[in-house]
Structure 1
Amino acid sequence: MAYVSEDMRLMGGVPGQQLFLYRTEDLLADVAGAGYFDKAAEEYNLDTGDVIVACTGAASAEAVDMLVATNAAGSVTVVNGS
């Protein structure tokens, strides 16, 4: 599967200090993969230091993890901060 814009919600903050909720049936290993959130850099101004609360797996309820984003010229990687 892949990133879906409609599954991401901005919870608050300012650029570089934003908090997002992302719900998906994708596995955490896929969500944490390099490039998964590249489109979010365009659509949500996802930037370095932003935090994503990711609810992943079956019914978007298998795991909840805190991901911290790094954006290098539109190429987004995340680190699992849980």
Structure 2
Amino acid sequence: MGGYIAGAGGKRLRPILLLLAARLAGYRGPRAVRLACGVELLHTATLIHDDVVDQAPLRRGQPSANAQWGDDASVLVGDHLYSKS
């Protein structure tokens, strides 16, 4: 399921903006990359949970995680991503 969700596309705008802001502030260390990854994981978790609540059949033009694997598995994956973020 992780590969399916990660490969679904998306602009990844939030982590890009975070990395650009860090660079503008003069920081180029590894913490910015870790924080950007955390932001993307958190955003993905909220999208998965939102699809479950809304019973959305599609996400980014393909079947949503809950349509593919069911609500229970999707909530667990969303919770896992949230905890990792």
> TM-score under structure 1 normalisation?
0.29
> TM-score under structure 2 normalisation?
0.29
Quick check: which one's strand share is greater?
1
Larger Rg: 2
